[in-house]
Structures are given as C-alpha cells and as structure tokens.
C-alpha cells in the first residue's frame, strides 16, 4: 500500500489516481460533488468493495468531505451556514444507521492542552446533552427528544489507558445506539487546515495520520456504529518537505537541466518560489513542535526566574 | 545583505561564514564559547565595528546565546540551573549600562492568545514587580531594592498602536533607567525552538524574524538602553523547505547524478531521509497556521452547532 | 458621606433615598426609565449639580444602566439585542462629546488571569481596531471610518505602575479624542452580577467598589473625555453579610421579639430563610477568595506532586 | 441528622460537639493531631462504629486532614514540604488496602472550565501515568513500578452521564486494584479554602457539600477501595450568612440587649465588625455565581459587539 500520510479519503483517492495515472472512474470508489455556494462545497466518496478498500487503504463506507473557503475570516453567518451543511450531511448518515430516537454518545478525542489537538474536547463542551434531563427530569423534556451524552476521554499519553478501553466501558454501561467521535486529523495539504470536515461511518484510528497508531474505535471494537468527524489541523513537517522536494524534482526534469541550473538555483533565494509552490497563500505558516504549549511553560519559568534573580 | 531569516546573531554569523567560505575569525565579530555543563552552554558574540554590522545585519553590541539541551523533558533542577545562568549573563549586561539601583521596566512582547507568540506576556505575569511597593509602602521594602515594573503592551494587530508608541508613553511617564523586552523569535533551525535564549543590548525590531517588520524598540526610540531577551518558538515553513531543498541539491551535486537518480528518488518515499536531514529528531514537528488558536475556535463552533442541529 | 460599597449610581441613589426616607424627586438627580422588552430595561440617571454630587458621591454627568434578565441562559439573539441597546446608549453619549470621526482609544481594565476581573482584557481582544489600517493601508479602509485603538494596561499589582500613568503616556503619544474604559465592578446586589451594564461619562476610579482605590481615570487626568463601561461581576462578602444582618434586625424589630425568639431562631436552620432574603434565586452563589485561580494552581501542584511521590 | 453543609469530617465533628455540648471524647470517633512545623499540621480522625457514623453522617473509615497556613503566598519549598506530607499520609492509607505493586486509577472530578471546580482535572494533567509504558514498552520501565492511570470523566451537567457510570465502565475494562478520586469540596469556613486537604478511604459523593448530591463513588459502587482527596475551594454563601447571623445573635444574647442596641447597630456600618467576625483576614473574599466564567464570556460578547456597533 502507498504511504498516504493523510486521513482524508478524498486526498487518498487523488494520490492514488496520480500515482496510478488513472484519471477516470475507479472500481469500488464512487464520488459525487456538490457546490453549495461560493464558499462551501461537499464531496461524497463511497467505498463499495474490497478493491476500493485496497486502493486507498480505508474500509468500505461513506466518506463525506465539506470544504469551507477562508474560514480564517469567517463571519457569524458563514459559521451558521457551515453548521447547517454539516448538520444535513451528518443527519443523513446517522439516519442510515439508527432511528430518530436512538441514543447517541458524542466523544471528543484529543488533548485539550495541546492547541492543535484540542478541537475534540473543546467541541464536547458545547454539545447540548439531554441524557440526564430525560433520566432525572423527564417532565421538562419534550417527548421524542433523543438522548445525547458527551465525553472527552483524554489521550493515552496523559491517561495511560487506550481510548478504546475507556469508551468500551462507557458504552457497556450506558448502551448508546451510535457513537460519534470528533478528532483533529493530519492532512497533506496546507489549504485544508481548519477548513475541511470529513464525516465517515467507519470509525477512526486515533493518531493514524501522524504515524502514532492507536487501537481502532469502530463498530468492531465498540459494538455499535461509529461515525467519525475529522478536521485537519496540522500537516506533518517531513511530509510537507518531501512534497516540496517532489515539486522541485519535477521542475528539474521538465527543464532537463544540468548542474549549471542547480548551481544557479542554490544561489537564489528559493524562498518566494517555495512559498508559491506550497500554496501557502495568505496564511502565516509556522513549524513548531506539537508540544509547544508545554515548552513555552518551561521557558516562561526559566526567563521569569532568571530576570527575578538578576534584579 | 543576505536574507538571513533568523533573529539569532550566532546563526547569522554561521550563515555568513558558510556563504563567504570563511572559517576563521571575522573582522568586527568576536565570539567566545563556554560549556557550563552537559546540557547548558553559553556563546557570547560581540559586534565591534561597522564591518561586523554589515556582515550579519545587526547593530554593534553584545549578543549572548544560552543553549539548553532537551528542554522538552526538563526537570525542576534543570529549569533552576538555566535560570541561574540567564540571571548571571543578564546581570552582567545590565551592569554595563546602569547601576545597582537603576529602575528597570520589563516588557513582554507578543500576543497571549496565540500560543507560539505568548511567551512575552506569560513571562510578565511572573515578574516580581516592586515599583508600587517602593512608592506606596516604602517601610516594607528592604533598602536598596531596585524598582521594577512590568507591562505587556499587546501587538499592533489587536491594539492598532505601534508597540513602540505605547512604550514611549510609558517610559516618559515613569522614567526607568533601562528597559528589558522579552520576545518570541523565529529561528532557522528546529533544534533551537524553545531551547535557546538570546540576550542582546541593542533592542529589538518586533516581528523581524518573520518578515512583519515593526518599528524598532531601542535606545534610539526609547531614550534609555534596551536589553532584548529573545527565544525562538517557531521556524517559518518556507525557510525550512528552502533549506530542505538545498540539502538535496547538495547531495545531487556531490553525486553528480543524472536524471536516473532523480527518477529513482521520486519513487522512493523520501520521508525518512528528509526527517533525518532536517534534524527533526524526537520532536513531533507540525506545520500549522500561526492563527491556529482562533481557527480552532471557529471550527469548534461549526462542529458543535452542526451536531446540535443534527440531533 | 454614606459608605455605599457600590459603583452603580442607581444603587447609590436607592440607598440614599432609603436612608433619607425621601421617596420622591431629589434635587440634582434626574432619572428616567425605559423598558425595552421583557428582558431588557434602561435607566438614565443624570447628576446635574453639586447637591446631587454630594448626595451619592459621584461627579456630575450621565450614568446609564442597562439591565438584562437571566443572562445566565442567554441565547444568541438576546446577546445581539443587548449589544444593540448598548450600542445605541453608548453612541448617544459618545456623540455628546466628539464628532463622528473623532479617534477613540478603548481600554480594558483588570487582570486577565483573575476570573471575575478578566472582563476588560477579554473584551479588548474582540474590539475591531482600525487605527493601524488607516495609518498603514488607507486604501483598504472606507472613507470616514473612525480610528479605533485598544489596550489592556494590566493592574497595579502585576505591573507596579498606576494604570493612569500608563494611559497618560499612551494618550500623549497617539492623541485620541475620547477614551472608553471597560471595568468589572463590585455591586451590592447579587441579581446585578453580570446582568447590569453602567455607562457613564465621568471616568472611573479603578477598584473603587472594593475599597482598593487607585488613581482616577478621567478627563481631569487624561485630558480627554472618558466614558466608563462598568459591569458588576462580584459582591463583596462582608457587604453582603452586613446586609443579611440588617434584614434580620429589621425582622426582629418588626416583631418586637424577645430573647425567646432569638433562641428559637438559633435552633432552626436559617439557611433557607437567608437564601430567600438575599434573593439568591436560581444562582449557585459561592464565596471564594478573589485569588482563587492562583490558589488552585498552588494546590494542584501539591496534590499532583503528593500523589506522584506516594506511588 | 444535623445539616452540616461541609464535606470535612473534622468540621462535622466540631459542629456535632458544639451542638451537643460534648467537649470530650466521642464514642466511635477517634482523633489525633500532629503539628509538622509552623505552617503544617495533620489531624487523623477515625470513625470506628455506627455511633460515630450517625453522629457526623460519614461512613466508618479514616479521615485525615492536612492544614497548610498561608498557602496564598506559598514558596516552592513550602509546596514541596506539603506534597511530602500528603505523600506520606496518602501512602499510609494506600498500603492499608493494596500491596506495593497494585494498579491504581487516579480520577479528577469536576469541571475544568469552572474555576473553583477545576482542581481535579488540573491535577490529573500532572499525574505521572505509567500504565501504557508498562504495557507497550516494558523494557524502559524499572521493574516493580506500579501501574498508574488517570482520567477526568467530566461532570453530569456537561456529559449527561453519572460520573459513577463512566468510572464503573473504566474500572471493569482496566481492572485497577484501587481508585483515588480528587475533588473540590465545599467547606463551612473561609480559612480552609485552598489550605486544607482531606484524605479518606470511604469514597465520595460528588457535589455533596453544595447540596447537588450525585451517586456515590465508593467500594460499594466500583468494587475496589476508593480513596478520596478533597480540597475546599468555596464556601456556600447562604451557609456563611447564616453563620454570620448566628454570631450576631450570640452577641445580642450575651449582652441581653434591648431594641436600643439593635437601633444603634443598624446605624453603624457593621462592615468592619462582620469582616472580623467572619475571620476574613487578609483575603479578598468575593461572592460570585459558580458559573462566573461562562457569564463573563456572555458579557464580553455583549460589550465588544456593542462597542463595535457604536463605532
């Protein structure tokens, strides 16, 4: 299998097609695009058989991608419109698996104190849970309300427990009919960062995008359908640099250039050319350790103590 | 002038020497290294004349760099030891400019709500200020205590005011004898992130490392000596990719390889090779927009609202 | 003068009237109420002469109070409606002092790391500043846009500098025509916490409500008109207990009860009666040191270290 | 049973003794005090039979209280000393229940985004977990290391799930030999806030102190011993006011005073007297809704939007 280094099915399909040189339809992979408005589009990819599974290394199921342009400067109405599109796509997938009143457990994966990994736990704080009202104050709840509960189980590094073990226990005790997991993903492309939402009904392998594979969270391990909502928040550095080098090698080959070209290239500042080639655009892209929040706490202590001592 | 894309004088000197092919001593630049212990080293660079200034594009003055290995897994004693080294170097530079009781204003530059830019404001919160005690409760303060005050002026993007304008006003009103500014810097090299501290007595141009030049904060603009403490927290992506490409071009040239080599290279996964070449080491380096904190707030709203609507 | 222990002019007037036994109109104090809708009302108090000043200990000027019911469970539309009312009242007061294009500096008082004192700095982060656009990129700004800048100067305890000294410096350097300061206030009544907004054009004395008087921030000290927006976020404990005791003394006197009554009272749990008398309502009122954020950081360290050592 | 409104066994015993007028030894309750140093003391209370249980409404078991004076201005060495005392007392209680290698699950109760309730989750972030190392990289772990895992399950209001249901599931899946829960408590006395640590081996009823009783977390519900570490972070307002009134009633009775006294009292500002009576000391005690963090977010939006609209 190719090493895709991305969690997005649509990116994987594109890479597969590029490598195979197949532009047209793939056996076992169906796609359909819809442009909602100038800023929002939806692509629904369906993997229908084993051939499709093998091609892009993802299990059979639905992979819907919502793309939002320029989220960076989002206005309230754009945020509302994007939520509505997500609600529709998510609602469609939920109703393929359970009925209108089937209880749902929403799970926010990730580490709240690591900025690019905090999306899951932060989202959980905003979910409107109803399970306890229905259990303890049924008289205040409109009939037919769906039971919803929500949990942020933490990450293996800080709990010492595989996330799937925690979730198995919770699912056994509260018996939801379906689980939704929210996770920050790695992507291959800078433009997708915080502007793409992937919804799939095949579960998730936490950390898969960055090579830290954890045990899978899916119907196989939890016993109920698992819908995963994934949002790219980072690109891994080495992936990006490899890609940058590929682009330059292509240019070298196109121009069939000799060592003179290489010499010239090295003397120029390739900076602007790279910026353009990597499609960095208006973003201010930085490279930083994932642990930067913690490192800054350490440094803060050193500098503050250092200054206090010097006085 | 070379485009150095780093704020560290010692990195600039190294780049300059590499480009010029001069290994030995440079006119106008003096250096001296000291290894404190296995994990801590200090390098004192002094720019002594205009030739030195021109060579590395930094004004005459002192540039001391403290390097800390493996800060990532720092224990309390290492943090304490590093603070002591910083206190000594900083104390030495302060005493070149003012006497033991000269009042000092400490300034934390940067934006507290942007993780890699938050170091300055976070440090300010820990500074032991004495100015108000000395003014309002002199009876409780040991005689000879230095007056210290501290401020986080914010950044142009959120205040609408050049930082130097704010500082000029404060300096005029409280009349310190010296200003210390703390700022997060950009560096060229991944290893320096949150493990190098540069102290210089020539002030600072906020945002200089990432190409967002703001007005300089220095004796020239504030009227009193300005000591800058800078800590690299990010590497700019395009800088890093350019460097990655340089490394590969060098290898290509060394091997005087033809297109066959390029073809082979493209088919391999260069991922591991790049990882090694860029010296990424045990860090989990990610690429992310500087604005990631804000983007995640937006996305959180979309996903939470989307789920709530779908239920 | 009475010791009002509140920053709200309308509370002071009520206390004054109660103590004086004057129910009707006061010389030097004009009031006018408007009920906007079921949840929102506005009261405009104007102190017109020295008699009014003396009565309630506030300088001549306008004191407008906006009351919002049940902010606790506010929906987006309610937040929007309240903003509009604030915008109208604030706009009216601004236009009494400067013209449509007069430059404004917005100041967020308070300490961002002390929860009930963080309102000012948090608000500043959301202000749309335009000053730097107008100065550096006038071509992108609609003609006639007002110059707005914003700053969070910190508090005396962490800066060592009187806030007014910082602001004087900034005002001298950037020359706004008007200053708006935002501050968390103390109130006497629990219901007002985070549900009342006072706008006045007479400036502010930071910390006045809780007895920590700092130097005044007003036209007298800054040289330009100062509009203060104050929101009660706390009630001081001793104030509240004094009030609770007053209520009980009143009841004692009404009933002209003897020691028998006192004896009985002491054996009952007065808890529910107190809850009702203090109008605590559905809130979960707690008493806590203002420094609770920092205390919890200390405790966290002790407990985590203690557990780690015990293992 | 008396309504104690405190989670601390030693406070309950004191109240019981006061109400009963029994100064000496109580049947079924053993106590022992130790003064560690000027700032630290330990009191070990043991409830040995049903009579003791009934007297103070707590189950049979050990209740150790560590008191720390002036934590507010704690230095690092004091924090370290307090951790050591906690480690010793906790270690003693652990070793009464399991052997040196018995696996432990540490649980942080409470809501991280509500300041006075955040202690549990914040502490969890600092626990050194070993379970995953022992499972996945046993070669790097010293033999005999105890397996430790840690989890913050959230609160019923945001998860919709009883905490005990989550914990039951986790315990069933990972099978620890003992559970330690950390929780913020309510106390009756202001001095105890963030300066007392209670360790007991009888589990916990979350929210018991503030009248929000949740299902108990104990050996009965989890099947393994449960040690609870509780730290008071708040006093409930109505409790405190009731107490304030009690104090005044006592004074009234002592003085056998008539209505004249009451009249005089009402004309004075009782403020300072109350402050002294409640033992508020150097703290800056405030009264605020538990939900203040969320209320301030709402208010911030209203004020920022209001100002932006007014410009």
The gap from C-alpha D103 to its chain's centroid, in whole angstroms, comes to 25
Place of tokens 């007895």: C211
The least confident of A187-196, B38-47, B123-132, D9-18 is A187-196
- The pLDDT value recorded for residue B257 is 53
CA distance D8 to A127: 34
- The pLDDT value recorded for residue A214 is 66
Bridging pattern class, strands C148-151 and C104-108: parallel
pLDDT tens-digit profile of C130-169? 998 888 888 888 888 899 999 999 999 899 999 999 999 9
- The pLDDT value recorded for residue D209 is 46
CA distance D24 to D44: 16
A167 vs B80, higher pLDDT: A167
Nearest CA in chain C to B111: C125
- The pLDDT value recorded for residue A209 is 47
- The pLDDT value recorded for residue C141 is 82
- Distances from the Cα of C169 to the Cα of B154, B206, B218, C175, C182, angstroms: 15, 20, 18, 10, 18
Q: What percent of chain B has pLDDT over 70?
A: 81
Confidence of residue B296 (pLDDT cuts 50, 70, 90): confident
The least confident of B36-40, C31-35, D60-64, D72-76 is D72-76
Mean pLDDT of B45-69: 91
The least confident of B135-149, B213-227, C97-111 is B135-149
CA distance B172 to C272: 57
The Cα of D168 is separated from the nearest Cα of chain A by a number of Å equal to 7
Q: Between A292-310 and B76-97, two packed helices, what is the crossing angle to 10 degrees?
A: 50
- The pLDDT value recorded for residue D259 is 56
Chain A interface, Cβ < 8 Å to D:
112-113, 124-125, 129-133, 147-154, 156-162, 165-166, 168-174
B9 vs A198, higher pLDDT: A198
- The pLDDT value recorded for residue D211 is 47
Mutation to test the A interface, candidates B84, B102, B299, B300, most A Cβ within 10 Å:
B299
Given an 8 Å threshold on Cβ–Cβ distance, is A115 in contact with B115? yes
Question: Helix, strand or coil for residue D284?
Answer: coil
Nearest CA in chain B to C127: B158
- Which residues in chain B are contacts of C131 at CB distance < 8 A? 160-161
Bridging pattern class, strands A104-108 and A178-187: parallel
Q: Degrees (nearest 5) of the Cα angle C126, C128, C131?
A: 135
Given an 8 Å threshold on Cβ–Cβ distance, is C299 in contact with D126? no
- The pLDDT value recorded for residue C296 is 81
Over B133-153, what HEC string results?
Answer: HHHHCHHHCCCCCCCEEEECC
Confidence of residue A264 (pLDDT cuts 50, 70, 90): low
Over chain C, what HEC string results?
Answer: CCCCCCCCHHHHHHHHHHHHCCCCCECCEEEEEEECCCCEEEEEEEECCHHHHHHHCCCCEEEEEEEECCHHHCCHHHHHHHHHHHHHHHHHHHHHHCCCCCCEEEEECCCCCCHHHCHHHHHHCCCCCCHHHHHHCHHHCCCCCCCEEEECCCCHHHHCCCHHHHHHHHHHHHCCCEEEEEEEEEECCHHHCCCEEEEECCCECCCHHHCCCCCCECHHHHCCCEEEEEEEEEEEHHHHHHHHHHHHHHHHHHHCCCHHHHHHHHHCCCHHHHHHHCCCCCCCEEEEECCHHHHHHHHHHHHHHHHHHHC
- Which residues in chain C are contacts of D281 at CB distance < 8 A? none
Those residues whose C-beta lies under 8 Å from the C-beta of residue C64, and which sit 6 or more positions away, are C42, C43, C44, C45, C89, C93, C198, C199, C200
Interface predicted TM-score of the whole assembly (ipTM), two decimals: 0.84
In 3D space, the residue among B121, D115, D242, D111 whose CA is nearest the CA of residue C290 turns out to be D115
- Distances from the Cα of C36 to the Cα of C85, C86, C192, angstroms: 8, 12, 18
Whether residue A110 contacts residue A120, with contact meaning beta carbons closer than 8 Å, is answered with: yes
Which residue among B84, B283, B309 places its CB closest to the CB of A309? Answer: B84
Whether residue B93 contacts residue A307, with contact meaning beta carbons closer than 8 Å, is answered with: no
Provide the b/e sequence for B118-150 (b: ≥16 CB within 10 Å): bbbbbbbbbbebbbbbbeeeeeeeeeeebbbbb
Which residue among A248, A293, A310 places its CB closest to the CB of B115? Answer: A293
Given an 8 Å threshold on Cβ–Cβ distance, is B180 in contact with A307? yes
Which residue among D263, D296, D304 places its CB closest to the CB of C127? Answer: D304
- The pLDDT value recorded for residue A198 is 94
- The pLDDT value recorded for residue D162 is 93
Given an 8 Å threshold on Cβ–Cβ distance, is A151 in contact with D154? yes
Given an 8 Å threshold on Cβ–Cβ distance, is B237 in contact with A278? yes
Which residue among D154, D165, D174 places its CB closest to the CB of A173? Answer: D165
Given an 8 Å threshold on Cβ–Cβ distance, is D311 in contact with C148? yes
> Is the pLDDT score of B212 beyond 60?
no
> Is the pLDDT score of B85 beyond 50?
yes
Mark residue B217 as left, alpha or beta (left: phi above 0; alpha: psi -120 to 50; beta: remaining).
beta
DSSP one-letter string for B194-248 = TTEEEEESS-B-TTGGGT-----BSHHHHSS-EEEEEEEEEEEHHHHHHHHHHHH
And the tokens for D254?
A: 């002592």
Given an 8 Å threshold on Cβ–Cβ distance, is C274 in contact with D71? no
Q: From first to last of its 311 residues, what are the pLDDT tens digits of chain D?
A: 566 777 788 888 888 887 777 766 788 899 999 999 988 999 999 999 999 888 888 889 999 999 988 766 567 788 889 999 999 999 999 999 999 989 999 999 999 888 888 899 999 998 999 998 888 888 888 888 899 999 999 999 899 999 999 999 999 999 999 999 999 887 877 778 878 999 999 998 876 544 455 689 999 999 999 999 999 888 877 777 777 777 666 666 666 555 566 555 555 555 666 666 666 555 667 777 777 788 888 888 888 888 888 88
Given an 8 Å threshold on Cβ–Cβ distance, is D159 in contact with A125? no
Dihedral sign, Cα of residue D44, residue D49, residue D53, residue D59:
positive
Output the average pLDDT for chain C: 83
Which residue among D112, D156, D174 places its CB closest to the CB of A161? Answer: D174
- Between chain A and chain D, the number of residue pairs with CB atoms below 8 A apart is 99
CA distance D241 to D247: 10
Q: Which residues pair with C123 in a beta bridge?
A: none
> Is the pLDDT score of B111 beyond 80?
yes
Whether residue A187 contacts residue A193, with contact meaning beta carbons closer than 8 Å, is answered with: yes
The Cα of D47 is separated from the nearest Cα of chain C by a number of Å equal to 24
Q: Which residues pair with D234 in a beta bridge?
A: D186
In 3D space, the residue among B305, B19, B294 whose CA is nearest the CA of residue B157 turns out to be B294
The Cα of D308 is separated from the nearest Cα of chain A by a number of Å equal to 14
Chain C interface, Cβ < 8 Å to B:
112-113, 124-125, 129-133, 147-154, 156-162, 165-166, 168-174
pLDDT tens-digit profile of C244-290? 777 666 666 666 555 565 555 555 555 666 666 666 555 667 777 77
- The pLDDT value recorded for residue C211 is 47
Given an 8 Å threshold on Cβ–Cβ distance, is D194 in contact with C285? no
Mutation to test the C interface, candidates B137, B159, B167, most C Cβ within 10 Å:
B159
- Which residues in chain C are contacts of D272 at CB distance < 8 A? 238
- Which residues in chain B are contacts of A286 at CB distance < 8 A? 116, 234-237, 287-290
Phi, psi of B181 (to 5 degrees): -110, 140
pLDDT tens-digit profile of B199-209? 999 998 876 54
Mean pLDDT of C204-227: 79
- Of chain A, the end-to-end C-alpha distance in Å amounts to 60
Given an 8 Å threshold on Cβ–Cβ distance, is B126 in contact with A270? no
Q: What percent of chain C has pLDDT over 90?
A: 40
- Between chain A and chain B, the number of residue pairs with CB atoms below 8 A apart is 345
Which residue among B128, B259, B275 places its CB closest to the CB of A238? Answer: B275
> Is the pLDDT score of C174 beyond 80?
yes
pLDDT tens-digit profile of A156-165? 989 999 999 9
Nearest CA in chain C to D245: C245
Which residue among A131, A157, A159 places its CB closest to the CB of D160? Answer: A131
> Is the pLDDT score of A189 beyond 80?
no
Given an 8 Å threshold on Cβ–Cβ distance, is A274 in contact with B238? yes
> Is the pLDDT score of B134 beyond 50?
yes
Mean pLDDT of B22-35: 84
- Distances from the Cα of D2 to the Cα of D20, D30, D208, D216, D283, angstroms: 11, 20, 14, 20, 29
- Between chain C and chain D, the number of residue pairs with CB atoms below 8 A apart is 345
Q: Which residues pair with D64 in a beta bridge?
A: D44, D199
How buried is C191 (Cβ within 10 angstroms: 0-12 exposed, 13-18 middle, 19+ buried)? middle
- The pLDDT value recorded for residue D85 is 94
Bridging pattern class, strands B104-108 and B178-187: parallel
Confidence of residue A43 (pLDDT cuts 50, 70, 90): very high
- Which residues in chain D are contacts of A171 at CB distance < 8 A? 169
Which residue among D153, D161, D171 places its CB closest to the CB of A131? Answer: D161
Mutation to test the D interface, candidates A114, A160, A170, most D Cβ within 10 Å:
A160
pLDDT tens-digit profile of C116-131? 888 999 999 989 999 9
Whether residue A293 contacts residue A115, with contact meaning beta carbons closer than 8 Å, is answered with: yes
Given an 8 Å threshold on Cβ–Cβ distance, is D132 in contact with A160? yes
Place of tokens 């004349």: B49
> Is the pLDDT score of B211 beyond 50?
no
Mean pLDDT of B185-189: 79
Phi, psi of C46 (to 5 degrees): -125, 125
């Amino acid at each position: 299998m190719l090493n895709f280094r991305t969690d997005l099915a649509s990116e994987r399909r594109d890479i597969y097609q590029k490598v195979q040189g197949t532009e047209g339809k793939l056996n076992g992979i169906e796609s359909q695009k819809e442009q909602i408005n100038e800023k929002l589009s939806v692509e629904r990819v369906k993997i229908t058989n084993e051939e499709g599974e093998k091609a892009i290394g993802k299990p059979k199921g639905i992979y819907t991608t919502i793309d939002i342009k320029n989220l960076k400067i989002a206005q309230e109405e754009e945020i509302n419109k994007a939520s509505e599109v997500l609600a529709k796509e998510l609602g469609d997938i939920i109703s393929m698996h359970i009925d209108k009143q089937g209880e749902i457990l929403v799970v926010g994966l990730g580490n709240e104190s690591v900025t690019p990994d905090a999306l899951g736990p932060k989202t959980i704080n905003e979910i409107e849970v109803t399970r306890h009202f229905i259990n303890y104050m049924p008289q205040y709840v409109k009939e037919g309300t769906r039971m919803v509960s929500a949990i942020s189980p933490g990450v293996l590094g800080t709990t010492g427990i595989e996330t799937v073990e925690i979730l198995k226990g919770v699912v056994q005790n509260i018996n939801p009919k379906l689980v939704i997991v929210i996770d920050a993903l790695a992507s291959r492309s800078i433009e997708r960062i915080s502007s793409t939402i992937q919804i799939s009904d095949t579960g998730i392998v936490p950390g898969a995008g960055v090579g830290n594979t954890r045990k899978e969270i899916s119907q196989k391990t939890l016993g109920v359908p698992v819908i995963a909502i994934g949002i790219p928040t980072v690109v891994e550095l080495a992936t990006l640099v490899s890609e940058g080098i590929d682009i330059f090698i292509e240019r070298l080959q196109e121009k069939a250039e000799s060592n003179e070209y290489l010499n010239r290239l090295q003397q120029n500042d390739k900076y602007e050319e790279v910026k353009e080639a990597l499609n960095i655009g208006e973003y201010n892209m930085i490279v930083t350790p994932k642990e930067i929040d913690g490192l800054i706490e350490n440094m803060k202590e050193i500098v503050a103590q250092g200054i206090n001592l010097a006085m």
